Amino acid sequence: MESNFGKDSDIMSISINEIKEYLIKNKVKPSFPRLKVFEYLVSHPSHPSADDIHKSLVVEMPTLSKTTIYNTLDLFLESNIVRSLTIEGNELRYDVDVSNHGHFKCEQCLTIYEFDMDPTFINPSSLEEFTISERNVCYKGICPKCQSTEENTSA
């Protein structure tokens, strides 16, 4: 198993035991809610919000609170096994792929796509004295699927 559950992982073959081992390796106690939240993040690479996660998991765990979700996500962020991204306004999303990569949000279908990025590409000289711990690049526009739909409806 790799050190992060990013795009190079075979998501469908990741078991709950592998997630448990991964959490332990990263010094996170693998409680049932933590296992389920991380499993959700791995199996939903759509960059879900805390509300998305809660709505899905509360069906299986009716006593699950939003506070537990937020506390779990905060712990994952502190442990550097998840990253957060704000693409628009206060829309905080979570990504299990902690490698350097960029994001594109389609303004029509609201899908968030990932793209490879060279982390040295953006290296502003005005930040020479700063230590950079994370790089986020985000674009917005219309994805090819929505462009194709627009072309088909206008023809």
DSSP state of 138: E
Q: Which residues pair with 140 in a beta bridge?
A: 105
Gap between the Cα atoms of 11 and 24, Å rounded = 19
What CATH number should be reported for the domain holding residue 85? 1.10.10.10
Q: In this structure, is residue 131 part of a structural domain?
A: yes
Decide if pLDDT at 70 tops 90.
yes
pLDDT in tens, 87-140: 777 879 999 988 888 899 999 998 889 898 876 677 677 888 888 777 778 889
Gap between the Cα atoms of 111 and 113, Å rounded = 6
Exposure of 58 in the CB half-sphere (CA atoms within 13 A): 13
Domain around 109: 101-154
User: Given this model, what pLDDT does residue 119 score?
Assistant: 66
User: Given this model, what pLDDT does residue 102 score?
Assistant: 87
* Between 6 and 109, the higher pLDDT residue: 109
**Residue 42 CB neighbours (<10 A):** 19
Q: Which two tokens mark 9?
A: 């992982």
Predicted TM-score (pTM) of this structure? 0.78
Domains identified in the chain, total number: 2
User: Given this model, what pLDDT does residue 147 score?
Assistant: 93
Residues 19 and 63 in one domain: yes
Q: Which residues pair with 112 in a beta bridge?
A: 105
Residues 82 and 109 in one domain: no
Q: In this structure, is residue 41 part of a structural domain?
A: yes
End of a domain among 46, 67, 95?
95
Residue type at 150?
E
Please report, for residues 81, 149, 151, the alpha-carbon distance to residue 155 in angstroms, rounded to integers and kept in the order given.
46, 10, 6
Arithmetic mean of pLDDT, 69-92? 91
Residues 21 and 68 in one domain: yes
Q: Which residues pair with 93 in a beta bridge?
A: 85
Q: Which residues contact 112 (CB under 8 A, 6 or more apart)?
A: 46, 47, 87, 93, 103, 104, 105, 106
Residues 21 and 83 in one domain: yes
pLDDT in tens, 13-55: 689 999 999 999 999 999 999 999 999 999 998 899 999 999 9
User: Given this model, what pLDDT does residue 133 score?
Assistant: 75
End of a domain among 69, 95, 121?
95
